[in-house]
Amino acid sequence: MTNDATAPEQTDGFHLVIDALKLNGIDTIFGLPGIPITDLTRMAQAEGMRVISFRHEQHAGNAAAAAGYLTGKPGICLTVSAPGFLNGLTALANATTNCFPMILISGSSEREIVDLQQGDYEEMDQLAIAKPLCKAAYRVLHAADIGVGIARAIRAALSGRPGGVYLDLPAKLFAQTMDAAAGRASLIKVVDPAPRQIPAPDAVQRALALLKGAKRPLIVLGKGASYARADADIRALVERTGIPYLPMSMAKGLLPDNHEQSASAARSYVLAEADVVMLVGARLNWLLSHGKGKTWGAPAAKQFIQIDIAPTEIDSNVAIAAPLIGDIGSCVSALVAAIDSSHGSNWAPPPPDWLGAIAERKDKNLSKMAATLALNPTPMNFHSALAVIRDAVKARPDAIVVNEGANTLDFARSIVDMYEPRKRLDVGTWGIMGIGMGYSIAAAVITGKPVIAIEGDSAFGFSGMEVETICRYNLPVCVIVFNNNGVYRGTDVNGSGSADVAPTVFVKGARYDKLMEAFGGVGVHATTPAELGKALHEAVASGRPTLINAVIDETAGTESGRITSLNPQSAAKKK
Ligand code: ADP
């Protein structure tokens, strides 16, 4: 970096950040350039990193979170100061809530001015704002500390329960120079960033005793189980014990959805009737009705085993009889080993009446669903459109499905079967809208596989401008917009008599396909399942950016999909 042959070689903050990330095997940055990080994006690209540049930081952040989930390494989101940082913050908080490892790196204004609140360009105390919304937050003031800062961020994101980390890099830091050899020596290659956590043997025995005594056992697999990459161990546990299992939405495909032990099609029955429930990387939050109430049947008849890496998760909603704390791979393999050593081939599968009752309900519900899917109404409804997508995913089980919306989410989750682990990305723990294009871009960039984004028309709107990003990087993403002219439905009317339309409706007959065409991608207007199926097939085969505007009956949706009960009016009525 110097022309003076006698002076020692110099490096600077920019290069130290890049070198520290590369040293730790991080090769992709999702971000949006601007002051003070524009040069960082250029230099990172020059140094061989992939830099994916977005139209809005929230989607870059969501992409980083999805990359973290898909790779098990923290995804990196890079933003400018104050407004860019704030735009990225929603994604950081969402990643933390979902237990996805990511690092939000934001440039920031000068400390001296920010701290005296003297009105700097984009002045904001970003570190203080980020802190309560993520797992850890750090600021680096000296180039010589960049290695430590990045090492701490990686470790915080990956170890224990994964989550989001904020790293604050003030503008001045980037231009600081130091001796290159000292700079290299200051970098840290993080050793064992997500250490295995072996469960205590007595905890394993306690869990096993409970499982063994169960008459109606059930395993619930959550996205923590998918994230843990313990696929073979989990499959061994399920198949060795013969216990029916229920995948939470992002755990679909951990075992193929057509596995005979899947109890998905008898979900309400097994949750209400099971006597021992083993949670594997799944929290008893609102998605599981907090482990109580009507969903779970008689409380006295139910005992829980919970496998989780976070000890404080235990007893968060109901008493957990057998906590098993550790990483899922270690816990599940310890359970299988304990079964093998104490039971050999004598492990008794669950009682046949339990399995029979589940099979009966499954058959009934599956044939009911098959009959609904076989209908071909005009206009298309959610079911007839999803039947086609279900077949396309079956034909390409390696494709990644991204899914958001209300009805579009609910129906797709139950209709579109998944066959491989970590192929389904959706609204997650918050049920958040706006993850669609960010997750899709990350999935395509990270895996190179076809991505099928099943989007409600409202949900798509949150990140729709990123179709330009999809086209710019020529990513194999096929977006299917379920266009029913509104949020939930397109039929609401303004009852007030004023000229405005109702708050939940959109422009009727909108052509989302034109948006993709505007940037050189393929746009298709599909009004029948046959048109939708053909366009999807071509998109997956060609890998070209495609948006299918799937026209859905505007009367077909339900308010808030399956969570109508969470609307204050419905909740009040229930009281
Ligand atoms: P879902 O929404 O699918 O039910 P959650 O996000 O509620 O799943 O639960 C995921 C759980 O998995 C969290 O409690 C988290 O602590 C846990 N977890 C994440 N990674 C691991 C891991 N490697 N080992 C053990 N538990 C994990």
Cβ neighbours, 10 Å, residue 501: 14
Q: What is the mean pLDDT of residues 544-554?
A: 97
User: How many angstroms separate the CA atoms of 8 and 91, rounded?
Assistant: 42
With bands split at pLDDT 50, 70 and 90, how would you rate the model's confidence at 298?
confident
Contact 244, 270 (CB under 8 A): yes
Q: Is the pLDDT of residue 2 over 60?
A: no
With bands split at pLDDT 50, 70 and 90, how would you rate the model's confidence at 453?
very high
Which of 11-20, 165-174, 371-380 is predicted with the least confidence, judged by mean pLDDT?
371-380
Q: Which of 67, 69, 71 is nearest to 52 (CA)?
A: 67
Q: Is the pLDDT of residue 186 over 80?
A: yes
Q: Is 26 left (phi over 0), alpha (psi -120 to 50) or beta?
A: beta
Q: Is the pLDDT of residue 1 over 90?
A: no
With bands split at pLDDT 50, 70 and 90, how would you rate the model's confidence at 4?
low
- β-sheet with 477-483: strand ranges across: 424-426, 400-404, 451-456, 477-483, 546-551, 522-526
With bands split at pLDDT 50, 70 and 90, how would you rate the model's confidence at 258?
very high
Q: Which of 192, 246, 308 to mutate to test the pocket of ligand 1 (most atoms within 8 A of CB)?
A: 308
User: How many angstroms separate the CA atoms of 509 and 506, rounded?
Assistant: 9
pLDDT at 201: 98
128 within ligand 1 shell (Cβ under 6 A)? no
Query: Measuring from atom 14 of ligand 1, which residue has the nearest CA?
Result: 283
pLDDT at 573: 61
384 within ligand 1 shell (Cβ under 6 A)? no
Token pair recorded at residue 348: 């008794």
310 within ligand 1 shell (Cβ under 6 A)? yes
DSSP bridge pairs for 463: none
pLDDT at 562: 77
Q: Which atom of ligand 1 has the smallest separation from the CA of 279?
A: 4
Q: Which amino acid makes up residue 90?
A: T
Q: Which atom of ligand 1 has the smallest separation from the CA of 98?
A: 6
User: How many angstroms separate the CA atoms of 85 and 324, rounded?
Assistant: 38
Q: How far is the CA of 222 from the centre of ligand 1 (A)?
A: 6
Query: Quick check: helix, strand or coil at residue 440?
Result: helix
Rounded percentage of the chain residues whose pLDDT exceeds 90: 92
Instruction: Give the orientation angle of helix 382-395 with respect to helix 407-415, to 10 degrees.
Output: 40
Query: Quick check: helix, strand or coil at residue 447?
Result: helix
Q: What is the mean pLDDT of residues 35-46?
A: 97
327 within ligand 1 shell (Cβ under 6 A)? yes
**Pairing mode, strands 10-12 and 177-179:** antiparallel
Q: Which of 96, 98, 158, 161 to mutate to test the pocket of ligand 1 (most atoms within 8 A of CB)?
A: 161
Q: What is the mean pLDDT of residues 252-275?
A: 98
Structure confidence by residue, pLDDT tens digits, 461-478 = 999 999 999 999 999 999
Cβ neighbours, 10 Å, residue 406: 24
Q: What is the mean pLDDT of residues 539-566?
A: 90
Structure confidence by residue, pLDDT tens digits, 100-115 = 999 999 999 999 999 9
With bands split at pLDDT 50, 70 and 90, how would you rate the model's confidence at 343?
confident
Q: What is the mean pLDDT of residues 336-350?
A: 92
Q: Is the pLDDT of residue 442 over 90?
A: yes
Q: Is the pLDDT of residue 3 over 70?
A: no
Cβ neighbours, 10 Å, residue 160: 16
Contact 397, 308 (CB under 8 A): no
Q: Which amino acid makes up residue 492?
A: D
Query: Measuring from atom 19 of ligand 1, which residue has the nearest CA?
Result: 224
Question: Residue 554, CB half-sphere, CA atoms under 13 Å: how many?
Answer: 14
284 within ligand 1 shell (Cβ under 6 A)? no
Q: Is the pLDDT of residue 556 over 90?
A: no
Q: How far is the CA of 331 from the centre of ligand 1 (A)?
A: 13
pLDDT at 228: 98
With bands split at pLDDT 50, 70 and 90, how would you rate the model's confidence at 565?
confident
Q: How far is the CA of 99 from the centre of ligand 1 (A)?
A: 7
Structure confidence by residue, pLDDT tens digits, 397-432 = 999 999 999 999 999 999 999 999 999 999 999 999
Looking at per-residue pLDDT, the higher value among 17 and 490 belongs to 17
Q: How far is the CA of 391 from the centre of ligand 1 (A)?
A: 30
- Preceding omega of 323 cis (within 30 degrees of 0): no
Query: Quick check: helix, strand or coil at residue 493?
Result: coil
Q: Which atom of ligand 1 has the smallest separation from the CA of 222?
A: 3
